Amino acid sequence: MSPRSPVLLLFLLLGLPLLVLSGGLYPPLEPFSTGHLNVSSLHQIYFEVSGNPNGTPVVCIHGGPGSSSSPMTRQFFDPAHYRIVLFDQRGCGKSLPPGELRENDTWELVRDIEKLRVFLGLGRVLLFGGSWGTTLAMLYAQQYTTVVTGLILRGIYTHRVGEADWLFQEGASRIFPEPWQDYLAVIPAEERSDLVEAYYRRLVSADYPTSLQAAREFVTWECKIAQLEPNQAACDLETDQRVYQRGAIEIHYFNFNMFFSEENQLLSQVWKIRHLPATIIHGRYDVVCPLENAWTLKSLWPEAEMHIAPRSGHSQWETEITSLLVDATNKFRNL
């Protein structure tokens, strides 16, 4: 369905909700506005806006670090109600320059969200984040509380002590030992006491094949454990440039402790956003970000609504999680 089709225009004018497709998603939707925003003398972030130009603004924050926005993310939202904003974080996706690590840290990303909100004239915004996107959404809300209307968070990552080690040092390895062996094989035995640091040394190597291999294996390991039932097709990565771009940024962030200055920095500030309406969605068998992450967050944020998807892993495209996300965006139409 074209965003300018008579049917969609009629729904927009009347303010009526669209019927969703099977599986819960709304029909595919093209953006009515795209562009790049200069956020520094070095970085331009790519953005796109779709749905109702006069609708309730929602800012979608992708995961990673190093991933990018997905066109399908628009389909979680009723386009007659929402003004849907997607963007690629610094160095990610279509942002420029691709894969750039300079001036690329957590706090710059938080400020970029605010710059984008102001540039687009969004007013108060609903935040929609998954995985690393939940981290950024909560950090942004803690700093810019007055412009946030609520949060929809899927697959919680808070960067508490031990969360990164679970994923990249020891923990998830015990559940998925087969892909772990491929991840481990890149690093000699004598360097395995800190695998992220060892990967970073290879990433910044002057030898490009070495850097590319590090980026590829780092990203592939996480991809292969992201769903309850591994989907090999989803792990067929793109061009070498895209693989390097994604892997380089992720390794960069994890090697520098997500640029947090203190332990449990995010959770210690949850009190600042407890008054905001929030929905937490997490897969029971999420190996990338274990359910304990969400459980701990909920204990500090009892007012938040929490849903555990009983037969799901980490991915937003698993059936239960997709359905819960659409339910959440529909519910937030009435807030």
Query: Are residues 244 and 153 part of one domain?
Result: no
CA–chain centroid gap for 84, Å, is: 15
In angstroms, the first-to-last Cα distance of the chain is: 28
State phi, psi for 59 to the nearest 5 degrees: -105, 120
Query: Are residues 155 and 174 part of one domain?
Result: no
- Please tell me which residue in 286, 312, 315, 323 is annotated as part of the active site: 286
Residue of 178, 180, 208, 206 lying closest to 195 (CA atoms):
180
Query: Are residues 133 and 55 part of one domain?
Result: yes
Catalytic residue flag (residue 314)? yes
Query: Are residues 143 and 172 part of one domain?
Result: no
Mean pLDDT per segment of 10 residues, for the chain of length 335 residues? 38 41 81 98 98 98 96 98 98 97 98 98 98 98 98 97 96 96 96 98 94 94 89 73 93 97 94 98 98 98 98 95 98 90
Query: Are residues 172 and 134 part of one domain?
Result: no
Query: Are residues 93 and 24 part of one domain?
Result: yes
Q: How many residues does the chain have?
A: 335
Query: Are residues 174 and 36 part of one domain?
Result: no
Catalytic residue flag (residue 131)? yes
- What's the domain range around 154? 6-161+262-332
CA–chain centroid gap for 329, Å, is: 16
Residue 287 sits in a domain whose CATH number is 3.40.50.1820
Query: What is the pLDDT, as a whole number, of residue 110?
Result: 98
Residue 14 lies in a domain: yes
Residue 1 lies in a domain: no
Query: What is the pLDDT, as a whole number, of residue 239?
Result: 84
Model confidence, pTM: 0.92
Q: Which among 208, 241, 259 is the end of a domain?
A: 259
- Please tell me which residue in 81, 307, 314, 323 is annotated as part of the active site: 314
Q: Distance (Å, rounded) from C-alpha 312 to C-alpha 302?
A: 23
Query: Are residues 187 and 38 part of one domain?
Result: no
Helices (H) and strands (E) in the chain, counts: 10, 8
Query: Are residues 326 and 201 part of one domain?
Result: no
Tell me, letter by letter, the H, E, C secondary structure of 221-236.
HHHHCCCCCCCHHHHC
- Please tell me which residue in 50, 69, 131, 312 is annotated as part of the active site: 131
| DSSP-based three-state secondary structure for 142 | helix
Query: What is the pLDDT, as a whole number, of residue 156?
Result: 98
Query: Are residues 156 and 47 part of one domain?
Result: yes
Query: What is the pLDDT, as a whole number, of residue 237?
Result: 63
Query: What is the pLDDT, as a whole number, of residue 229?
Result: 81
Q: Distance (Å, rounded) from C-alpha 103 to C-alpha 88?
A: 15
Residue of 50, 6, 60 lying closest to 28 (CA atoms):
50
Query: Are residues 311 and 247 part of one domain?
Result: no
Residue 272 lies in a domain: yes
Q: Distance (Å, rounded) from C-alpha 137 to C-alpha 51?
A: 21
Query: What is the pLDDT, as a whole number, of residue 23?
Result: 53
Query: What is the pLDDT, as a whole number, of residue 171?
Result: 97
Query: Are residues 143 and 242 part of one domain?
Result: no
Say how many domains are in the chain: 2
